Amino acid sequence: MKLIMAVIQDKDSALLSDELVEANIRATKLSSSGGFLRSGNTTFMIGVEDDRVEEVLNIIKVNCESREQYTTSPVSLDVSLDSSIPYPMQVHVGGATVFVLPVESFHRF
Amino acid sequence: MKLIMAVIQDKDSALLSDELVEANIRATKLSSSGGFLRSGNTTFMIGVEDDRVEEVLNIIKVNCESREQYTTSPVSLDVSLDSSIPYPMQVHVGGATVFVLPVESFHRF
Amino acid sequence: MKLIMAVIQDKDSALLSDELVEANIRATKLSSSGGFLRSGNTTFMIGVEDDRVEEVLNIIKVNCESREQYTTSPVSLDVSLDSSIPYPMQVHVGGATVFVLPVESFHRF
Ligand code: NI
Ligand code: NI
Ligand code: NI
């Protein structure tokens, strides 16, 4: 048994939840903030058998991996003329910081 | 020293807190949601000496164990005649998912 | 790699965050309550290399250690005459409860 603590961005939380449910892996979400990732994160606490750790890590990687997105700047605060034309802006989204912890014993009551 | 992470239902949280205080065992509650148990759960983080782990597990079991309750359905959404008579409905309540983690060192400042 | 779980008082949270950032150590804050310390606490989850554990413990100690403060009682509920004179009152503030957990593996995606 291992306890996986995964800090991910809020925006990836719903998708990760769904994929873990699909894989029949149970997780608890802890409210968290700041630090490992930019503001707005969630910590997943996932208990799994040793032989499924790699599978869970892969589910986290596929759904939460840090990636770049192009976004169109929605508003321009610059008064110069040319800035009024929206242009694509590259932003980093996602990312996961994951700790796999040893478990001494596991109980369900 | 061990760190016990126990996910329990919100409705059992106050009772478990009281019983841990009575036993002179200190715990911190983390806001949590979803997953291991039906919606509305709390994660207790409990630090204890090795020789008290069994005692804490027992306190969790006694106060949070999954059990069945009979409830009277409060409203009937069915338009058929006989459904207007309230009848007892069996529901599962409680339950605990508990991880006992090894601790390398413990400090109080 | 170690995972440090530190329960501290809310009032020390901003300072600890700043000092960890200054030391280039990343942390995630979990919403927590009750138990190890008087009401209003925060749990810092801090991942560090083994050789920086002492440094992190020292940062926590310096910024969150339990200490006594003298405060002037703002209101007097006692109707006796002499109690209307504000007098300094000693209160305990701060404090940290810290668990250092072994980590089996660490991943960033
Ligand atoms: Ni899918
Ligand atoms: Ni009792
Ligand atoms: Ni400083």
Instruction: List the domain boundaries for chain A.
Output: 2-74+87-102
Given a cut of 90, whether residue B84 has pLDDT beyond it is no
Of C7, C30, C99, the CB nearest to B103: C99
C31 and chain A in contact, CB less than 8 A: yes
Q: Are B70 and B41 in contact (CB under 8 A)?
A: no
- Which residues in chain A touch residue C107, judged by CB atoms under 8 angstroms apart? 57, 60-61, 96-98, 100
Q: Which of A32-46, C37-51, C74-88 has the lowest mean pLDDT?
A: C74-88
- Give the pLDDT confidence score for residue C15 in this predicted structure: 94
H/E stretch holding B42: strand B41-48
> What whole-number percentage of chain C has pLDDT above 70?
80
C45 to A43: CB separation less than 8 angstroms, yes or no: yes
Q: What's the gap in Å between A94 CA and the centre of ligand 1?
A: 18
- Give the pLDDT confidence score for residue A34 in this predicted structure: 62
Q: What's the gap in Å between B21 CA and the centre of ligand 2?
A: 9
Pairwise pLDDT comparison (A70 vs C53), residue with the higher score: C53
Q: What's the gap in Å between A22 CA and the centre of ligand 1?
A: 6
- Which residues in chain C touch residue B29, judged by CB atoms under 8 angstroms apart? 32-35
Q: Which of A39-43, A54-58, B83-87, C62-66 has the lowest mean pLDDT?
A: B83-87
Kindly indicate the confidence band of residue A105, based on its pLDDT and cuts at 50, 70 and 90. very high
B63 and chain A in contact, CB less than 8 A: no
Of A32, A64, A102, the CB nearest to C29: A32
- Mean pLDDT rounded to a whole number for chain B: 85
Distances (CA, A) of A58 to A19, A55, C55, C109: 11, 5, 33, 10
Q: Which residues contact B8 (CB under 8 A, 6 or more apart)?
A: B16, B37, B41, B42, B43, B44, B60, B64, B94, B95, B96
Selected for mutation to probe chain A from B16, B36, B46 (highest A CB count within 10 Å) is B36
Given a cut of 90, whether residue C59 has pLDDT beyond it is yes
CATH of region A2-74+87-102: 3.30.70.120
B98 to A104: CB separation less than 8 angstroms, yes or no: no
Pairwise pLDDT comparison (B65 vs C3), residue with the higher score: C3
- Paired tokens of A43: 């910590």
Chain C contact partners (≥3 CB pairs within 8 A): A, B
Distance of alpha carbon A97 from alpha carbon A5, whole angstroms: 8
Q: Are A46 and A99 in contact (CB under 8 A)?
A: no
- Mean pLDDT rounded to a whole number for chain C: 85
Given a cut of 60, whether residue C78 has pLDDT beyond it is no
CATH of region C2-73+86-102: 3.30.70.120
B45 and chain C in contact, CB less than 8 A: yes
C32 to B27: CB separation less than 8 angstroms, yes or no: no
- Give the pLDDT confidence score for residue C83 in this predicted structure: 54
Interior/surface letters C52-80, b for 16+ CB within 10 angstroms, e for the rest? bbeebbebbeebbeeeeeeeeeeeeeeee
Kindly indicate the confidence band of residue A92, based on its pLDDT and cuts at 50, 70 and 90. confident
- Paired tokens of B11: 């409705």
Pairwise pLDDT comparison (B104 vs A31), residue with the higher score: B104
How does pLDDT run across A49-86, given as a tens digit for each residue? 999 999 999 999 999 988 887 776 555 555 555 555 66
B56 and chain A in contact, CB less than 8 A: no
Q: Which ligand is nearest to the CA of B59?
A: 2
A5 to C45: CB separation less than 8 angstroms, yes or no: yes
B32 to A28: CB separation less than 8 angstroms, yes or no: yes
- Give the pLDDT confidence score for residue B51 in this predicted structure: 97
- Give the pLDDT confidence score for residue C90 in this predicted structure: 79
How does pLDDT run across B20-59, given as a tens digit for each residue? 999 999 999 987 776 555 567 889 999 999 999 999 999 9
Candidates 3.30.70.120, 3.40.50.720, 3.40.605.10, 3.40.50.300; correct CATH number of B2-74+85-102? 3.30.70.120
Chain A contact partners (≥3 CB pairs within 8 A): B, C
B31 and chain A in contact, CB less than 8 A: yes
How does pLDDT run across C26-41, given as a tens digit for each residue? 999 987 776 555 567 8
Q: Which of A27-31, A47-51, B27-31, C84-88 has the lowest mean pLDDT?
A: C84-88
ipTM for this model? 0.82
